[in-house]
């Protein structure tokens, strides 16, 4: 029952406006079902094939979030069911999600990933690229996606001040762009914060946190 009590403990620390994504990558369906039975309905996976396998086996009221880096050629495998794609970092990927969503007669929600970390390895857009995508004709023509927010991953460091600075940068970009809604872009979600730093992220304005090891225990 550790998973259920872990979930309760985390939810008790989260404000009502913050969505908890249970990061279930690499975990067996039995673990996910334990979280499901404890009331969790939003699960985050980082591999499309693994997510699709779990989707087939598990109850259909689960909301599946794709939190990993997405390859365009894999989008079609999640398009029938994915609820939110977190790491959208290019116009090309948006176009593919839009195309596959149309084939499935769906509108797929997306978060645009902003590069906030000082590490080169993290994916994401900078402010200029974000601006360019949102202003482009190609973006405005997409009828089967909806950009509902921004997402970012802070530098993996114990330096809380640096992490805070990165979170606040993402929040300020969100505040700047949220008042420019178009039909397929209405920013309401700031997704930042993971097991190690989600409380700081919430203090900085996060409305969606991705927590894995604190719920399911460490990964092998």
Position 22 scores a pLDDT of: 98
Chain segment 26-45, per-residue pLDDT in tens: 999 999 999 999 999 999 99
Position 218 scores a pLDDT of: 79
**Alpha-carbon gap, residue 123 to 125, rounded angstroms:** 7
Position 104 scores a pLDDT of: 98
Chain segment 81-120, per-residue pLDDT in tens: 999 999 999 999 999 999 999 999 999 999 999 999 987 7
Position 118 scores a pLDDT of: 83
pTM, two decimals, is 0.95
Position 181 scores a pLDDT of: 74
Residues 6+ apart with CB under 8 A from 46: 23, 25, 66, 67, 68, 69
Report residue 121's pLDDT band, with 50, 70 and 90 as the boundaries. low
CATH topology of domain 2-207: TIM Barrel (3.20.20)
Chain segment 144-197, per-residue pLDDT in tens: 999 999 999 999 899 999 999 999 999 999 999 998 778 899 999 999 999 999
Q: SS3 for 170?
A: helix
Position 64 scores a pLDDT of: 98
**What phi, psi does 194 have (nearest 5°)?**
-130, -170
Position 123 scores a pLDDT of: 81
Mean pLDDT (the chain) is: 95
Q: Which two tokens stand for residue 44?
A: 């985050």
Q: CB of 65 within 8 A of CB of 110?
A: no
């Amino acid at each position: 029952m550790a998973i259920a009590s872990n979930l309760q403990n985390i939810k008790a620390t989260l404000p009502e406006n913050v969505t908890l994504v249970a990061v279930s990558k690499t975990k067996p369906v039995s673990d996910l079902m334990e979280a499901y039975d404890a009331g969790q309905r939003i699960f985050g996976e980082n591999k499309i094939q693994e997510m699709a396998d779990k989707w087939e086996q598990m109850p259909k009221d689960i909301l599946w979030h794709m939190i990993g880096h997405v390859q365009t050629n894999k989008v079609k495998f999640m398009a029938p069911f994915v609820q939110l794609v977190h790491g959208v970092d290019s116009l090309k990927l948006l176009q593919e999600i839009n195309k596959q969503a149309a084939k499935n007669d769906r509108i797929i929600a997306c978060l645009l990933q902003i590069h906030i970390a000082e590490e080169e390895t993290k994916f994401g857009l900078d402010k200029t690229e974000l601006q360019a995508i949102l202003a482009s004709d190609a973006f405005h023509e997409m009828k089967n996606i909806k950009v509902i927010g921004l997402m970012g991953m802070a530098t993996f460091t114990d330096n809380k001040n640096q992490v805070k600075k990165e979170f606040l940068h993402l929040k300020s970009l969100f505040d700047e762009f949220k008042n420019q809604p178009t039909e397929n872009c209405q920013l309401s979600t700031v997704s930042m914060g993971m097991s190690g730093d989600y409380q700081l992220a919430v203090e900085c304005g996060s409305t969606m946190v991705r927590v894995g090891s604190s719920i399911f225990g460490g990964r092998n």
